[in-house]
Structures are given as structure tokens and as C-alpha cells.
A = this chain, B = another copy of it.
Amino acid sequence: MSLQRNQDMSHQPLYLQIKEALKKQILDGDYAPFERMPSESQLMKSFDVSRITVRQSLRDLHAEGLIFTSQGKGTFASKPKAMQDVQHLEGLSEAMTPKGYETSARLLSIREVKPSKDVQENLNINGKEGAIEVVRVRYLNREPISVDTSYFPIAVGQKLFARDLSGDIFPLLENELRVPLGRADVSLEARSADSDTAKLLDINVGSPIMWVQRLTHDSSGKPVDYEYLAFRGDAYKYRFQIERDPSRNSGFNEVIK
């Protein structure tokens, strides 16, 4: 979002003018994805401003996802984010392998837990029943992309202890445990990474993450898998298509639920 782009910006703070100038160059393709941006000193020189001003501009560009920094190597125009199409319910490997990505998972823990209220409500179990919790870090091209915390009812989850959990769990449920999957309820929100998540994803505490809650049902509608997925905001994009409700197109203005 740029309110000032193409407007006379001379009344704006310097750092904003510089940010907008660089942003325009990135959006216009003058800097291609992965291309190195000028150094702080070069920018200070070309814009004739202080380091603090240059840093403020870069911080904003960084916040907008237009540049990224590689430790010791400099600042680069953004790499394109990995996009997952979510028209159908798919695991990370199912979705990304056909696009040429290498995916894997590192298992951090699998154990029986006393489920939180949220997990109880979603899996439709009570607090005494317990649930199986699986915590994994998922990797895309060997970079950590998400921390997945999944909860299963005991009957299903117990069978996961002896399984290979380095890939998607969905096909494992379907093909090995013979649990046919149906509908999933998904919610997405933007959050800041807490210390645990930041460490596992190799990002700074407070960096933006996409927080996904996904409740997957079996084909009969029974909940079988409730997950919290914390995706690195700088590396991942969800994409889907939606249709306008056809009944709206006939000139009706009422809201149909």
C-alpha cells in the first residue's frame, strides 16, 4: 500500500521518500527477485542522507516484504514466496512437491497430553480422554517453513507412534490407517512469532507468522486431526479462488447466507 506513490512527496519525511523510490524500483522490476540492493553506505551517498534515515527506509521495505537480508551477505530484493493452492485439502508435501519443492519434517515430540479446552472442543472429546500431540518442524527446500502442532483422538493417534512422520500425515491416515478424509475447517490469521516458534523457524521474535487452525474430519464428518500451523510470514503465501455467489449477479442486492 502506498498512499504517496506518484504524488508530490517533497513534504514527506525523507525516509518515506526514499522508501517509496526504492519500492517503485522493486515493483517496476529494476531490482529483480534475489538481486542485491545497494548497501547502506551507497544509499546514504546516492540520497545524501544519514544512516538512520536509510535504515528506517529499509526497515519499512523489510516490513512490507519487499527486501530480505542474508546474514553477512547484504540486502536483496525479495525472493518470491512459496505459494500453496488451497482449493483442496492437502498436506505440505502433496501441495508443494509437484511444484518442484523438496519437503521434509523433523519430529520434535509425539506424546499423550491432557487436551486444552480448544482441542477438546474441536476434536469433540472430553478432558479425561486425553489426545495424542505431534509437534514437527516442516521444511521447504531445507529451510524451516512452519511449526505444526497436531492433535488426534487417542484411537487414531496411538497408531502414529510407530509410523514414519517425516512426511504428510494425511496420506498416512488414508492409506495406512484407512481413515478416509473429508472436509476441513480452516482459519487464517496474522500473528507475531513467540520465542519458541521464532527459534524453530530461524526468525526474530515478533516476526510476522501466518497462524493456521485446521480441523480435519473423516469422510463421515467425525473430527480426526486438529492442528495449529505457524508459517514463516516471509516465506509463505496461501492462494485460492472464490466465486461470486451467482444469485448476486441478477441484480439482487440482498445478502444471502
- Is there contact, CB below 8 Å, between A248 and B181? yes
Instruction: State the CA gap A206–B192 with chains docked (Å).
Output: 9
Dominant SS among interface residues on chain A: mixed
For chain A, give the interface size range: 35 or more
**A184 within 8 A of partner (CB):** yes
Selected from B88, B193, B240, the residue in CB contact (under 8 A) with A244 is B88
Beyond the given pairs A89-B242, A174-B251, 13 more chain A to chain B contacts, judged by CB atoms under 8 angstroms and listed by A's residue number, are A1-B196, A3-B196, A4-B196, A5-B116, A60-B195, A83-B187, A86-B242, A183-B241, A189-B237, A190-B211, A191-B233, A206-B206, A208-B233
B-contacting 9-mer, from A41-49, A106-114, A158-166: A106-114
**A33 within 8 A of partner (CB):** no
Q: Which residues of B contact A180 (CB under 8 A)?
A: 249
Chain A residues within 8 Å of B, Cβ to Cβ: 1-6, 16, 19, 24, 27-29, 60, 62-65, 81, 83, 86-90, 94, 97-98, 108-109, 113-114, 116-118, 135, 147, 149, 170-171, 174-175, 180-197, 205-211, 219, 228, 230-231, 233, 236-245, 248-249, 251, 253, 255, 257
User: Given contacts A174-B251, A191-B63, is CB(A230)–CB(B1) below 8 Å?
Assistant: yes
